Each structure stands twice: as structure tokens, then as C-alpha cells.
């Protein structure tokens, strides 16, 4: 199997879907000649033409609105947000239109909105947010956050084939840093199905996106100290794999909930509530959350490093929990 980067896996998945299905088309800012801000769409204009790779004005509301209309007419638009931070300019179209149309009259809205999110690249407060939870609270949407190149390709293909709106968050820190084996043939990864990234016995770490790699780094450190972490990668946040979450906690009996996004209203709180309701008797220690604090993402590299969860913070929390 060929080894490819996270970015190239996304690109290959989109490319294959455009070859497979003529109703798939792309729209977004600078995605044509320029190939996208991070080059995800490089070469696609030349291959598929200007009718299927459409450069748009700098208006996220227009991009999303046009995509919703095209989806209702039987097309399968893949709309790029140059940075997911800017998705707020199209918020009304997403949460009040795209998310509710199927509920209101049964129409299909096969729409993907994708783009780079997350911090770690010193992008400052307007280019570094992990804002997936804005949409996890909105019924009618699906929210996907891949951590590996294999999942990046499989989930973008599943998202494009889905008959209703999918928000696909690509962590920009992973684009060219993460490489793994990706099959050349056609495959999808089911939306809503978690995976065990590392088997363990003592403490379950439930996470997603770039923090999967942070958890794995901490697990490697702690294994040398005799503490075994099981790392679960959610892959999808809406829907999320409730059974996988419960299974790992019932196995390990202690749990750390880890995410890059800010603390209040984050996915960790949702998961903590689930565990309190359905796995309280299985817990042998307090539920631990490791998240970013409730502040904007700092621009300063030392402040950003302080802001973000890292393997050292996970290892410290795990040692305390192991000794509880």
C-alpha cells in the first residue's frame, strides 16, 4: 500500500469521487488556479474544468447558499472554507437551512463543507480555532474529524456520498506531518464509527483529531512506567460512537477525555455526562478532562504552547489518575 500524507489522502479521496460521480463539484475561494490555500485542490481545475472547480467571491454565505441550492437540485457540492474559522459567515445557511431541510420536507441535501481547523501553527485567534462544537449541537448535521491519512480519505468519500450535510474538519497541523498507508482502491470509513488507536488496560483516553497523536505520544511514555493507556479515536462527533465509548470505559474503569477545543461546552462535557448516566458503576476514579482553556487561541508561540494540550499534560494527569 502506498504511504501518503493526510493532505494527499483528502485530495485523492475528493479526486476519486469526482471521477466516479459527475454530480460532485467543488466551490470555494482560490481553489482553482491556486489549488487552495493548502493545495488540497491542486490540479483539479486542469483535470475537471471550470464548471466543476469553481472559484468563488470571498463570501462564505454565498458559497454555502449556492452549495445548498445545488444540493437540492441533485448535485453533490464540496464547499471549501479557506479556514474553518470563517465558517461563521455562513452559519445561518448551515444551521437554519441545510441542517433542517430534510426534517422539514424530506428533501436530500448532499453537501460537504470542508476546510482546515485547529492550532499549533501560530495562526492566531482567527485562523486556529477548533470550532466543531458549534455544529455538534445542531441536529441534521454530521460532524467528522479525521486523525489519520487512512481515515481522511475514507471519511471524505463517505461524506461526499452521504445524502445530507456533512461538516468535515481537517486539522491543518496534520496536513503534511502525518503519513500512513492508504489503499489505492475505493473504500469508505463509516461516519459515526470510532476506532481503538491503541489497546490498553488501565486508563481510557477518548479523543479525536490531532489530539489522537498527542494521546499516543503520552501512551508511549507511560508504557515505560507500567501504565497502560487505551486510546480511542472518535473520528465522528455527530453522530458519535456511544457504544465504543462505553466499552472502553467498562474495560479500563478510568477515563481521560481529551480535546483541543476550549473547555466549556466541549465534547468532553458531553462524554462525561454520558458516562455519568450509563457507566457510573464502572468508574474507579474521577472523570478527567484535558482541554484548552476558555480563551481565544493566542498568536504568541509560547502562549499557544501553554494553551494547547500536549503529551506532557496527558501523562501528568494519567499518573495521578493511575494512583487514585
At 68-115, the pLDDT tens digits run: 999 999 999 999 999 999 999 999 999 999 999 999 999 999 999 999
Count of alpha carbons within 13 angstroms of residue 206, beta-carbon side: 34
What residues does 255 pair with on adjacent strands? Answer: 204
What residues does 114 pair with on adjacent strands? Answer: 80, 168
Secondary structure letter of residue 98 according to DSSP: I
- The secondary element (H helix, E strand) that includes residue 142 is strand 142-144
Across residues 299-307, what is the average pLDDT? 97
Judge whether residue 1 has pLDDT over 90.
no
| Share of residues in the chain with pLDDT > 90 (%) | 99
Predicted local confidence at residue 23, as pLDDT: 98
Q: Mind giving me the DSSP string for 176-190?
A: TT-EEE--SS-----
Judge whether residue 185 has pLDDT over 90.
no
Per-domain residue ranges for the chain?
3-181, 195-322
C-alpha distance from residue 33 to each of 53, 138, 176 (Å): 9, 34, 21
- The secondary element (H helix, E strand) that includes residue 34 is none
Across residues 210-235, what is the average pLDDT? 98
102 catalytic? Reply is no
Q: Comparing 3-181 with 195-322, is the CATH topology the same?
A: yes
Which alpha helices (DSSP H) does the chain contain, by range? 6-20, 44-48, 60-72, 91-92, 99-105, 133-136, 149-161, 211-223, 242-252, 267-278, 301-307, 311-322
Judge whether residue 247 has pLDDT over 90.
yes
Residue-averaged pLDDT of the chain:
97
Active-site entry in 102, 122, 127, 259: 127
Quick: pLDDT tens for 124-167: 999 999 999 999 999 999 999 999 999 999 999 999 999 999 99
How far apart CA 236 and CA 251 sit, in angstroms, is 21
Query: Which numeric CATH code is attached to 3-181?
Result: 3.40.50.970
The alpha carbon of residue 22 and the mean position of all alpha carbons in its chain are separated, in whole angstroms, by 26
Judge whether residue 184 has pLDDT over 90.
no
C-alpha distance from residue 306 to each of 131, 218, 291 (Å): 19, 17, 11
- Walk across the sheet containing 24-28 and list its strands: 53-55, 24-28, 76-80, 112-117, 166-171, 142-144, 236-238
Angle separating helix axes 149-161 and 6-20, nearest 10 degrees: 30
How far apart CA 148 and CA 196 sit, in angstroms, is 13
Across residues 255-259, what is the average pLDDT? 98
Count of H-run helices and E-run strands, the chain: 12, 14
Query: Which numeric CATH code is attached to 195-322?
Result: 3.40.50.920
Quick: pLDDT tens for 262-284: 999 999 999 999 999 999 999 99
Quick: pLDDT tens for 200-210: 999 999 999 99
Amino acid at each position: 500500500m502506498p504511504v501518503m500524507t493526510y493532505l494527499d489522502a483528502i485530495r485523492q479521496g475528493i479526486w476519486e469521487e469526482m471521477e466516479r460521480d459527475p454530480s460532485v463539484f467543488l466551490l470555494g475561494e482560490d481553489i482553482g488556479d491556486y489549488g487552495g490555500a493548502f493545495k488540497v485542490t491542486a490540479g483539479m481545475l486542469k483535470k475537471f474544468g471550470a464548471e466543476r472547480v469553481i472559484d468563488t467571491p470571498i463570501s462564505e454565505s454565498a458559497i454555502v447558499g449556492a452549495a445548498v441550492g445545488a444540493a437540492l437540485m441533485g448535485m453533490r457540492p464540496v464547499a471549501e472554507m479557506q479556514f474553518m474559522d470563517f465558517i461563521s459567515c455562513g452559519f445561518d445557511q448551515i444551521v437554519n437551512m441545510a441542517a433542517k431541510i430534510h426534517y422539514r420536507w424530506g428533501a436530500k441535501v448532499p453537501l460537504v463543507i470542508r476546510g482546515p481547523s485547529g492550532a499549533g501553527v501560530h495562526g492566531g485567534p482567527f485562523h486556529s480555532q477548533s470550532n466543531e462544537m458549534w455544529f455538534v449541537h445542531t441536529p441534521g448535521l454530521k460532524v467528522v474529524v479525521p486523525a489519520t491519512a487512512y481515515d481522511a480519505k475514507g471519511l471524505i468519500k463517505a461524506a461526499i456520498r452521504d445524502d445530507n450535510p456533512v461538516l468535515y474538519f481537517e486539522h491543518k497541523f496534520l496536513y503534511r506531518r502525518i503519513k500512513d498507508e492508504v489503499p489505492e482502491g475505493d473504500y469508505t470509513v463509516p461516519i459515526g464509527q470510532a476506532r481503538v488507536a491503541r489497546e490498553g488496560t488501565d486508563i481510557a483516553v477518548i479523543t479525536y483529531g490531532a489530539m489522537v497523536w498527542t494521546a499516543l505520544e503520552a501512551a508511549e511514555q507511560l508504557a515505560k512506567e507500567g501504565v497502560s493507556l487505551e486510546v480511542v479515536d472518535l473520528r465522528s462527533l455527530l453522530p458519535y460512537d456511544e457504544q465504543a465509548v462505553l466499552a472502553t470505559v467498562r474495560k479500563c474503569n478510568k477515563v481521560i477525555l481529551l480535546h483541543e477545543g476550549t473547555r466549556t461546552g466541549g465534547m468532553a462535557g458531553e462524554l462525561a455526562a454520558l458516562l455519568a448516566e450509563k457507566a457510573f458503576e464502572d468508574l474507579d476514579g474521577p472523570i478527567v478532562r484535558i482541554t484548552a482553556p476558555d480563551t481565544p487561541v493566542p498568536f504568541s508561540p509560547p502562549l499557544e504552547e501553554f494553551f494547547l494540550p500536549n503529551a506532557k499534560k496527558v501523562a501528568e494527569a494519567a499518573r495521578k489518575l493511575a494512583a487514585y
